[in-house]
Amino acid sequence: MKIHIVHQTHYVYNKAVHFGPHRLVLRPREGHDLRVESMELKIEPAAHFSWSRDVFGNSVATVEFEEPADELLIESNVTAVRMSPVAKHKTHLAGVTPWPPVYDPLERVAVKAYQKLSYSKDAAAVKAWLENFRIRKPDHAEDVVRNLNEYIYDELRYIRREEKGVLTPAQTLERGGGSCRDLATLLLEAARALGIAARFASGYLECQAAELGEASTHAWAEIYHPGRGWAGYDPSIGEETTSRHVVTGVSNHPRGVMPVSGSYYGKAGAFKSMSIAVTVRPEADKSAPAIKLIT
């Protein structure tokens, strides 16, 4: 199955401004489940960019602009091949992650970075909220995370926010809900409060709004299960992630995978507006190789 992703970010200013370097995390992460067939970046005004990989293995484009302008357009056009079939994880007794999870000594140094709270000042608020969290199957770590993801979905509302940035976990709890990135951040911190390694994931979700070109970027959390590896959980829909979720970046902090970040220099009040439009459209790809699964 092929998917076409168009992600357009458009900034408008009252007067021409100068742009500082911009960091783009827009290229889908490739692996056994997804391969990028082509990617084009359209940037206005004139600019040049270079690619690199950050410490988390994300592909990052650093953009340097050549002239000032009163508009900034960044458009990513990606064609990717989703490798099929995508097998759903099955729990086998030999591969069950016990609760609390026990991490391999060889992985503990790396895992520790994903267990550390990103919002330590909110620790008391998250802990108090978790007091009402009841684990239905306390023997397995995967069940605990699944229950936690569903708990956030059941207790909090999804609220589409146009404002920049991410709400802290305490702010999300106080408001009784938040955007996908806010709920993902809460799941991230709640899992870590329970001693579970977690990271923030950003990307796209194939859905009706995305097919109509009316979507924005999406966010969720990934949990590291010993023996299974990283697995995604989307608190906005209360489910584990599927092949409909396309990851562009992962980080131990939400700031690490902002799709577009940068600065501009101009007079106060120069900024006028920003708009984001994401389209994700699938199409059958008969030439895509199938993966034979041996169990």
Q: Please tell me the pTM assigned to this model.
A: 0.91
What tens digit of pLDDT does each residue of 114-156 get? Answer: 999 999 999 999 999 999 998 766 778 999 999 999 999 999 9
Q: Which domains does the chain have, with CATH numbers?
A: 2-84+258-283 (2.60.40.2250), 93-257 (3.10.620.30)
Residue 267 clears pLDDT 80, i.e. is over it: yes
* Residue 211 confidence (pLDDT): 83
Distance CA 294, CA 162 (A): 45
State the average pLDDT over residues 184-201.
97
State the average pLDDT over residues 4-20.
97
* Residue 215 confidence (pLDDT): 85
Residue 260 clears pLDDT 50, i.e. is over it: yes
Residue 19 clears pLDDT 90, i.e. is over it: yes
Please provide residue 144's backbone torsions phi and psi, each rounded to the nearest 5 degrees.
Answer: -65, -45
Residue 60 clears pLDDT 80, i.e. is over it: yes
What tens digit of pLDDT does each residue of 62-104 get? Answer: 999 999 999 999 999 999 999 865 455 555 444 577 888 999 9
* Residue 89 confidence (pLDDT): 55
